[in-house]
């Protein structure tokens, strides 16, 4: 994922798709499972891109 994210905006080229939504569901909370994702800077950038998509709703929003 890190290598791919270094050269692509999203996971199917440069378009936000259901693939990104599915991956995001797990990756953005990987730290809760004990995975240290801070070492993956390109993935962190991708997570922020997903969070800035229109109609994004945080899992923590009420």
- Over the stretch 1-53, which tens digit does the pLDDT of each residue have? 999 999 999 999 789 999 999 999 999 999 999 999 999 999 999 999 999 99
Whole-number Å distance between alpha carbons of 27 and 38: 12
The answer as to whether 14 is a domain residue is yes
Whole-number Å distance between alpha carbons of 61 and 10: 24
Q: What is the pLDDT of residue 62?
A: 55
Number of domains in the chain: 1
The answer as to whether 60 is a domain residue is no
Whole-number Å distance between alpha carbons of 51 and 62: 16
CATH code of residue 7: 1.20.1050.10
- What's the domain range around 28? 2-51
- Angle subtended at Cα 52 by Cα 50 and Cα 58, rounded to the nearest 5 degrees: 75
First-last CA distance in the chain = 30
């Amino acid at each position: 994922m890190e290598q791919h994210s270094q050269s692509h905006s999203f996971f199917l080229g440069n378009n936000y798709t259901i693939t990104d939504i599915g991956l995001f569901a797990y990756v953005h909370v990987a730290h809760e499972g004990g995975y240290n994702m801070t070492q993956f800077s390109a993935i962190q950038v991708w997570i922020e891109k997903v969070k800035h998509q229109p109609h994004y709703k945080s899992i923590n929003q009420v």
